[in-house]
Structure 1
Amino acid sequence: MTHDEALFQFLLRMGDNTLILGHRVSEWCGHSPVLEEDIALANTALDLIGQTQFWLGLAGEVEGQGRSADDLAFHRDAWDFRNLLLVELPNGDFGQTLMRQFLFDAYQSVLLGRLISSSDERVAAIAAKASKEVAYHVERSADTVVGLGDGTEESHARMQAALDYLWPYVGEMFTGDEVDAAMADTGIAPDPASLQEDFNVLISRVMGEATLSVPNAKYSHKGGRSGVMHTEHLGHLLTSMQWLQRAYPGAAW
């Protein structure tokens, strides 16, 4: 694998994470429990899609085949996506959505903090811009997890159930492969395993305040980033996300 091939795959991972989660979060638009949360989740989705534009735009440049961010978003099949399995899972109830958001925000905040010092100035610039949004995202999602976890008996039970369900998918964030090794060797991105300690510190603090118990079960799920395995839900998500471009290729307005 050449340097540019590894960098392309890394950029797809970054962009696909924000693209798929942004689309998932947008599904709450008009359906959230209260208007304030409806607006907040819509803004989070917009931030994530905005970050996608940068990551996939750079991926297209590195690939050098004339594909734009839109091409990479709307004209790839499920097996070509490189997102974490966590972000493609269905929303579930509101508690599950917010727990998923916090777990991803915590991971992204640690990762972007390292990418700001990337040896690739383009990656560092995107990370610096995105980190400002993510700093707000992680603060908000953490506060919501604490409020619901340390709330009523029902809200506590729902948040614990969400954490139990989502926790096995967290391990993929810290599992490296040849792409990650290439990025670490050139100083473009950190070794995923090196992010886990800071992530765990943040998780432990917030879950303690939320009176939630981190499951004893070890991380187990992996595969989405390599394109080898996705959940059955990604295909359904892409069907709705890519419908217009599939039905009317090249449509513009």
Structure 2
Amino acid sequence: MTDEDLHVDGEDDLYVDGDGARWAFGTGFTDPLHGVDQSVPDGVDAEDLAACCLALGDDALVSAQRLAEWCTRAPELEEELALANIGLDLLGQARLLYARAGRADGTGRGEDAYAYFRYPEDFRNVRLAELPGGDFAFTVARLLVLSVWRLAVCEALAAAPDPVLAAIAAKSAKELAYHSRWAAEWTVRLGDGTGESAGRMRAALDALAPWLDELLTDRAAARQGADPAAVAARTRLELFHVLADAGLDRSDDVSPLETPAPPVPGSGRNGRHTPHLAPLLAELQSVARAHPDASW
């Protein structure tokens, strides 16, 4: 299957393969990649492709679970629905990426196997995604950072040599553009609001700063077309503009996310996580592990 065989079909946000089979992202099929030629193209390292999809899928799944914790707790109903919908977008991205990983690594595992039946040390998400939710300001700041960074990655991966990953990335980029815009608007609203809201945003940025280096040096998608240096530069620039609009920049032209404190050592990409991931997964996986043969 070529890039021309897998393309966006008008405004329906469906993709059509060369045989006319339609597939929707994360909805409507037991296999979210139903109807798509999933063979790994010549010249693409299947192991590296699977690792890339697994890492980005884990980022999305863990982030979605943290956002789900805001159900019934958000400051306004409209924002509760927005956070829930963003979480569902990320869950859909995780489904697609896990499905692609299972074909690329040759195991044929489905999305449930990746989400529900792995242990914390088997997950490859960045650690920023797994930190406890904190207050609303922290959730907004983290969503801003992760969305801007992930958008830069996915826009680069839209030209990936694997057409399935490229299509997933192109569709994800549309969603992430909304995620980053929503988080940016709230960052400006809180940063340029009351003394209390601005103080909370500054505290959130201070808490995020030591974890930013893991994103800006990440190479999980490097061999699939997302140059780490270009992703880092794009991420820094976008964050600088948003924080300046919010009045959260510093007088010395250094981003408040640039901290003199050293970054937290280790990497979630290597399975080295914070103590917060295990409880999160225990809740996420509890029903599936209690009833492993159940179907819904």
Under TM normalisation by the shorter chain, which class is it? over 0.9
Q: Say if 2:53 and 2:101, in contact at 8 Å, map to a contact too.
A: yes
Choose the corresponding residue for 1:117, options 144, 159, 166: 159
SS in 2 for 1:101: helix
- Tell me the equivalent position of 1:207: 243
- Tell me the equivalent position of 1:132: 174
Change (3 A) 1:114 1:232: same
Amino acid in structure 2 at the alignment position of 1:194: A
Choose the corresponding residue for 1:234, options 277, 281, 284: 277
1:69-148 matches, within 5 Å, as: 69-148=111-190
1:127-206 matches, within 5 Å, as: 127-176=169-218, 183-184=222-223, 188-206=224-242
Q: Say if 2:217 and 2:232, in contact at 8 Å, map to a contact too.
A: no
Q: Say if 1:60 and 1:66, in contact at 8 Å, map to a contact too.
A: yes
SS in 2 for 1:242: helix
- Tell me the equivalent position of 1:244: 287
* CA drift at 1:215: 4.0
Q: Say if 1:173 and 1:192, in contact at 8 Å, map to a contact too.
A: no
* CA drift at 1:176: 4.3
Partner deviation per Cα, 1:180-236 (whole Å, 9 max, x = no partner): 5xx52xxx2323233111111101100001111314425613410111x10000000
Change (3 A) 1:237 1:220: same
Q: Say if 1:115 and 1:189, in contact at 8 Å, map to a contact too.
A: yes
Q: Say if 1:176 and 1:191, in contact at 8 Å, map to a contact too.
A: no
CA distance in 2, matches of 1:176, 1:19: 18
Q: Say if 1:20 and 1:87, in contact at 8 Å, map to a contact too.
A: yes
Q: Say if 1:149 and 1:212, in contact at 8 Å, map to a contact too.
A: yes
Q: Say if 1:174 and 1:196, in contact at 8 Å, map to a contact too.
A: yes
- Tell me the equivalent position of 1:43: 85
CA distance in 1, matches of 2:225, 2:287: 34
- TM-score, normalised by the number of residues in structure 2: 0.80
- Tell me the equivalent position of 1:223: 267
RMSD: 1.5
CA distance in 2, matches of 1:42, 1:155: 22
More helix by share: 1
Number of residue-to-residue matches in the alignment: 245
Which structure has the larger Rg over C-alpha atoms? 2
Partner deviation per Cα, 1:12-35 (whole Å, 9 max, x = no partner): 111000000001001101111111
CA distance in 1, matches of 2:163, 2:116: 27
**Please, which runs of 5 or more residues in structure 2 have no aligned partner?**
1-43, 250-255
Q: Quick one: higher RCO (CA 8 Å, sep 6+), 1 or 2? A: 1
* CA drift at 1:239: 0.4
SS in 1 for 2:95: helix
1:17-28 matches, within 5 Å, as: 17-28=59-70
Partner deviation per Cα, 1:75-120 (whole Å, 9 max, x = no partner): 0000000001010001000110110000001101111111111111
CA distance in 2, matches of 1:47, 1:75: 22
- TM-score, normalised by the number of residues in structure 1: 0.93
Change (3 A) 1:216 1:19: closer
Q: Say if 1:19 and 1:49, in contact at 8 Å, map to a contact too.
A: yes
